[in-house]
Structure 1
């Protein structure tokens, strides 16, 4: 069970790290919010089959986020007023 917890923690960190790479503020904040909410919703999950299903879903979402980050960098949006201005 400890190995499963380490895998879940590693997946969580990877999802958060990849989500911060979005160039668009709105996509970045939405992805971070969704990752945190999804893990919060499933924190009390104990069924091994359900855990495995959620882990697989997490890895699928990680792959989607990685692809979308690459696509997002191809088409850089204009910075929003609420974002920090680069000096």
Structure 2
């Protein structure tokens, strides 16, 4: 995979994960997910190409898990927090 294709894949994955995190109905889950995603990508910014391939696979699995969690979270009603 070329460097630009890898960069494009990583950016697409980052944006998808952030969009999915915004689907949480609970403020605390939503903000935690967004922070955790940004921190995880920032921590691995200087990874080697081999590490990047492994991290992309791991992030895709995390994205699928995030989608499931957001769906489950939206099934259960809750009261809004003051900051919402």
Please tell me the TM-score bracket, short chain as reference: over 0.9
1:44-84 CA-partner distances (Å, limit 9, x unpaired): 11x2221111101111111011001110111121111110x
Size of the alignment, in residue pairs? 82
With structure 2 as the length reference, what TM-score do the two structures score? 0.94
- Determine the C-alpha separation between the residues in 2 that align with 1:31 and 1:73: 15
Equivalent residue for 2:8, pick from 6, 9, 21: 6
Structure 1 runs of 4+ off > 4 angstroms?
none
Q: C-alpha distance in 1, partners of 2:78/2:56?
A: 32
Q: CA RMSD in A?
A: 0.7
In the alignment, structure 2 segments of 5+ residues that lack a partner are none
CA distance in structure 1 between the partners assigned to 2:49 and 2:77 by the alignment: 41
Q: Corresponding residue for 1:56?
A: 57
2:46 corresponds in structure 1 to: 44
Q: Which residue of 2 aligns with 1:31?
A: 33
Q: SS of 1:78's equivalent?
A: coil
